[in-house]
Amino acid sequence: MHSRSLLLATILVVLTNPAARAEDKAAASTVSPQALKAKTDYCKTCHGIDGQGFRGSFPMPRLAGQQPEYIANQLQAFIDRRRTNPVMNNVAHALDPAMVKALAGYFQNLNPKPLGGGSKALVPEGKKIYEEGVPSANIPPCASCHGPEAKGADAFPRLAGQLPDYILRKLSNWDKERGQNKDKPDNSAIMEPIAHGLTEAQIKAVAAYVSQLE
């Protein structure tokens, strides 16, 4: 558990970086509403008309209600190829910093009903893992970082309403997709031991629980 407070301290350093704040302001003023709409229309062809995600053999994650800082971090990670996904690496490399900031703020106010799709029978076990962690495997409560209602905050992503198949894939492949530049460590390192420590059955249970939260 000692490493957790260290990692949280690292995030706080990132969050309070004044240079990043100044960039935010500069960026927000340089994207026209028309240019933003053209982009978000494009994003919605995959992520759903209300950002609700899409359930298919390649699940498209929900972006609705997602924390702007988390979205910006992920778009930058795709641009830098610290996070690998052929589709999103292509989408993101065309975005300039001003557009990344504008897109990051856009999805937060969308609020469609969750698509769900997890096993209802697993919800009670998933709730327990979410709220208490898995002490025997040294896994802290998810709620301690993602919030009691799984709505996230700042660099901690919202999980409420996220597609269960997407969560299963991401937590099963964490090491192969995230933090891919060892010289530039990022927030993905915080989730790495947690993703590793969960069994597939535990991931399915916790995914079933958060996916039905509004």
Give the residue, chosen from 52, 187, 211, 212, that forms a contact with ligand HEC under the rule CB under 6 A: 187
Q: By CB under 6 A, tell whether 71 contacts ligand HEC.
A: yes
Measure the CA–CA gap between 175 and 191, rounded to whole angstroms: 10
142 interacts with ligand HEC by CB under 6 A: yes
Is residue 115 close enough to count as binding ligand HEC by CB under 6 A?
A: no
Is 73 among the residues that bind ligand HEC (CB under 6 A)?
yes
Q: How far is the CB of 26 from ligand HEC (least distance, A)?
A: 20
Q: Which stretch binds ligand HEC (CB under 6 A): 19-27, 29-37, 112-120, 167-175?
A: 167-175
Burial level of 201, CB count in 10 A (0-12/13-18/19+)?
exposed
If DSSP codes are grouped into helix, strand and coil, which group holds residue 153? strand
31 part of the interface to ligand HEC, by CB under 6 A: no
Burial of 2 (0-12, 13-18, 19+ CB in 10 A): exposed
Which alpha helices (H) appear in the chain, and where do they start and end? 2-15, 18-28, 33-47, 68-79, 86-93, 97-106, 123-132, 143-146, 164-172, 174-177, 188-197, 200-211
Q: Is 39 in the site for ligand HEC (CB under 6 A)?
A: yes
Contacting residue, 48, 53, 61, 164, with ligand HEC by CB under 6 A: 61
Nearer to ligand HEC, 22 or 42 (CB): 42
Interaction of residue 212 with ligand HEC, rule CB under 6 A: no
For residues 10-29, which are near ligand HEC according to CB under 6 A? none
Q: How far apart are CA 54 and CA 52, in angstroms?
A: 7
Closest of 46, 70, 50, 47 to residue 151, by C-alpha: 70
CB nearer to ligand HEC: give 110 or 171: 171
42 to 47, 48, 51, 124: CA distances (angstroms): 9, 10, 11, 37
Per CB under 6 A, residues contacting ligand HEC are 4, 39, 42-43, 45-47, 58, 60-61, 63, 71, 73-75, 85, 87-88, 91, 103, 129, 139-140, 142, 144-146, 155-157, 159, 162, 167, 170-171, 177-178, 186-188, 190-191, 194, 198, 206
